[in-house]
Amino acid sequence: MDSASSSARTVAACVIGGIVLGASVVVLHLGAGPASPSLPPVEALRRRIRRRRRPVRVYMDGCFDMMHYGHCNALRQARALGDELVVGVVSDDEITANKGPPVTPLHERMKMVRAVKWVDDVIPDAPYAITEDFMNKLFNEYNIDYIIHGDDPCLLPDGTDAYALAKKAGRYKQIKRTEGVSTTDIVGRMLLCVRERPVSDNQSHSSLQRQFSHGHGQNIDDSGFGNGTKISHFLPTSRRIVQFSNGRGPGPDSRVVYIDGAFDLFHAGHVEILRLARGLGDFLLVGIHTDQTISSTRGPHRPIMNLHERSLSVLACRYVDEVIIGAPWHISKDMITTFNISLVVHGTIAENMDYTEDDSNPYAAPIAMGIYHKLDSPLDITTSTIIRRIVSNHEAYQKRNEKKEASEKKYYDSKSFVNGE
């Protein structure tokens, strides 16, 4: 009797389950829209699943002038809000009209943005303000779901919010600004070089280097403002380094390529030489020299960016797999063995090209081992090139910085904690 009762319950459960499943398929079939009435129920279900899986595309724009790790961290945060990140790079004319002359031209800024490992696509000549026409183009042609910007205000010359339309449309998301660096801050560090010349003899080289790479100048109040320059309060953390890292090492049979340098004011010339170096192997290891090493070889006001700032900029580059933070000036045989380096490369365009004339050539070991290779640098750009652009037009950039300083001070005075990063 119990066996018969159990069989009856089993049959009833199967019948009810079949009815529920059939009803579900009918609902899905009817809900697939007018475009698929002839499709079998299973195919309609598959199409609905594919449609639901469409990647979330987010858009972020910017000038990205003298691109630094703050820009890269903003792009990292934006990418985390979606599946694909499209970046608009503002035109030279739009920057000049709204902020003053850019330091780096559009074609260089495009190379920099494309090289960031969190970027999937780039739109050149993006408008400074999100107009209704451009916003509709983003939504309809580029399939953008959300427009992203930092928590710092972006105001047009007339005082209106550049992202007002995106906010009104309900398609705006906000990320946290990366504090401790900005293009204004970096330009200010270089302007200090102009203001502080000639340097008094009683200031040591190491003291000057610390002042310059941290934005320290005279007559700066407790808030960090004065003389048109904001002191850099960059606070490096292990978490930030992990966020920028790839988190993987080379395989046992990987061809490891090593390149070293200062990578100060990370620019398009750096990006291009790293791209070529990565193409010579399976894993690109980049050595970044210490502040003291750079100061001793290139002068008391260098580097402009400190070691941790430079490391993050290099780590954000899609061609880089790993960095040595504080790499030695001399490449030893022991170091080559430790990192299993197959090839050591150096570009033909660099700040310090007389190293081969020194009594102690830093590349002597890889040269003796037959694993040293010189790469033809695609771009004739160095950190000094960027500095000369600022210094040669320092009055215009000083005015731009003073204008921007007011808005940055307002942000810092009224800022509140923003969760996430």
In the prediction, which pLDDT does 48 show? 58
Which tokens is 64 given?
A: 């990205």
pLDDT (0 to 100) of residue 106: 97
Q: Based on the domain organization, do 139 and 68 belong to the same domain?
A: yes
With a cut of 70, list the residues of the chain below it in pLDDT.
1-52, 193-233, 353-359, 395-421
Same domain membership, residue 372 and residue 262: yes
Same domain flag for 209 and 308: no
Question: Do 125 and 253 fall within a single domain?
Answer: no
Asked if 35 and 142 sit in the same domain, the reply is no
- Taking each helix axis from N to C end, the angle separating 183-195 and 394-414, rounded to the nearest 10 degrees, works out to 130
Asked if the structure places residue 405 within a domain, the reply is yes
Residues 140 and 71 in one domain: yes
419 belongs to a structural domain: no
Query: Are both 189 and 101 inside the same structural domain?
Result: no
pLDDT of res. 60: 97
SS3 category, 26 = helix
205 lies in a domain?
yes
Same-domain pairing of 199 and 136 = no
Do 78 and 154 fall within a single domain? yes
Residue 371 to residue 124: CA distance in whole angstroms: 40
Calculate Rg over the CA atoms of the chain: 27
Measure the CA–CA gap between 179 and 177, rounded to whole angstroms.
6
In terms of domains, do 291 and 159 share one?
no
**Domain-ending residue, one of 175, 198, 222:** 175
| CA–CA dist 44, 102 (Å, integer) | 52
Q: What is the pLDDT of residue 352?
A: 72
Beta strands in 281-387 (DSSP E): 283-289, 322-327, 341-347, 372-375
Question: pLDDT at position 177, please?
Answer: 82
Please tell me the total count of domains within the chain. Answer: 4
205, 192: one domain: yes
pLDDT of residue 420: 57
Residue range(s) defining the domain that contains residue 201: 183-235+384-414
The pLDDT, as a whole number, for residue 356 is 63
pLDDT at 216: 41
- Does residue 421 lie in a domain region? no
The pLDDT value recorded for residue 46 is 59
Is there a single domain that holds both residue 323 and residue 370? yes
